[in-house]
A = this chain, B = another copy of it.
Amino acid sequence: MKIMVLGGDGFCGWPTALRLSRDGHEVIIIDNLSHRRIDRELGVESLTPIADIDARLAAWRRVSGRTITFHNVDIAQDYDGLRSVLAEQAPDAVVHFAEQRAAPYSMRDATRKRYTIDNNVNATHNLLVALVDLAVDVHLVHLGTMGVYGYDGNGLEIPEGYLDVTVSNEAGQTFPRSILYPTQPGSVYHLSKSLDQLLFQFYARNDGLRITDLHQGIVWGTQTAETRLNDALVNRFDYDGDYGTVLNRFLVQAVNGYPLTVHGSGGQTRAFINIQDTVHCVALALANPPARADRVRITNQLAETQSVRAVAEMVAGITGVQIANVDNPRKEAESNTLRASNRTFRALGLEPILLQDALLNETLEIVERYKDRFHPEVVPARSLWTRDNRPGLVPGLSEDNTV
């Protein structure tokens, strides 16, 4: 297949592009390199050193003998650029990762809230409009998030996108309905993915677009079989308060002798998936497209659910560091249960990688290797959900988080 990967320079997009290229697909990356721009804006950088996009692609050609092409297009702002590259390339499938992807960044201030909604909604909508305008039958695979569901399940298993409910009329007769799961996003970032869902629903229904929406858990890990092949192919490893996901942040703290910053009691239960499974799931989704008249196929992309406390204890158990229960910068329930179906990918053969010592150790080695690139001052989560929240600072550490 010819596959276009929108956001193919990012943390999930880059290893996906390499995997699809290795599998023999013709891969075209579209990216505006916004992640690199936001790094400069925030004064942070990936713990792993990320080569220029040209150097990345050249390294891939050397080690694999395969060519991935790259087009620098801001799909949220440059509709004509997006439309013409779609028209020229005529891909069979488009994988859409091209959105601002961090909840804390989306809550940082008015500017970032506005950027997240404007960028993510227009990126997705431009893509849908272009596909309709070109009248092409392309399978669109989008990266959503488990966070759209919210965490008020009261012990009920979260289904894959659609909820079976019963409604009653005045006479007490009951009628079954299968509805889009009523979303309760917990940040502006997650909200943007809820908005995406409604865009997809409309364009699948009105125009028959074939769409798969992958509701992914929190990603951990860094490398995949392909990114390991050469130093210039290494994947991003974000550990700052805005872009660092929780497990990666804990590992960096542990290696550098900092306490693990657990927000509140750590009773928040979340879904997790290893980056290698992200890549695997996207490949499975591409191989199993919906039919033209189908509703949007929504698939949960997770390996397991764990509480933040349990994840911290696992890391503390391996490394011997302390756990610090700090203020929670987020507005969220202190504690919740979470059960979520991942039946679709299991049925397609996914044997998910679970959080375990061996794989944590692999990531610990990467953190150890790039220890000199660690900046403690960027670790605390300082983006506040409301005026009543407080940053996740460890008492006793100075303002810049140094000992």
Q: Give the interface of A toward B (CB within 8 A).
A: 79, 83, 109-110, 113-114, 117-118, 121-122, 125-126, 129-130, 132-133, 135, 154-157, 163-170, 174-175, 177, 179-180, 182-186, 188, 191, 194-195, 198-199, 201-202, 205-207, 331, 385-387
Contacts and interface: CB of A to CB of B under 8 A. Distances in A.
Nearest to A331: B206
Contact of A180 (B157, B182, B201, B385): B182
20 contacts: A110-B129, A110-B132, A114-B125, A114-B129, A117-B125, A156-B175, A157-B169, A165-B166, A165-B167, A165-B177, A165-B179, A166-B166, A166-B174, A179-B179, A180-B182, A182-B182, A183-B198, A184-B205, A186-B206, A207-B386
Given A114-B129, A191-B202, A387-B135, A170 B182 contact: no
A121 B113 CA distance: 13
A202 B188 contact: yes
Contacts of A83: 110
Contact of A129 (B79, B113, B195): B113
A295 to B, nearest CB: 11
Given A188-B202, A206-B386, 20 more contacts: A79-B110, A109-B133, A110-B132, A113-B125, A114-B125, A114-B129, A117-B125, A118-B125, A121-B121, A135-B387, A154-B175, A157-B169, A165-B179, A166-B167, A177-B182, A184-B201, A185-B198, A191-B198, A194-B198, A195-B198
* Copies of this chain per assembly: 2
A156 B167 contact: yes
Contacts of A385: 206
A164 B167 CA distance: 7
B191 A199 contact: yes
A312 to B, nearest CB: 25
A185 to B, nearest CB: 6
A117 B188 CA distance: 17
Across chains A and B, which 6 residue pairs bring their CB atoms closest together, nearest first?
A165-B165, A179-B182, A166-B166, A110-B133, A191-B202, A117-B125
A124 to B, nearest CB: 9
A198 to B, nearest CB: 5
Nearest to A205: B184
A90 B124 CA distance: 35
A240 to B, nearest CB: 23
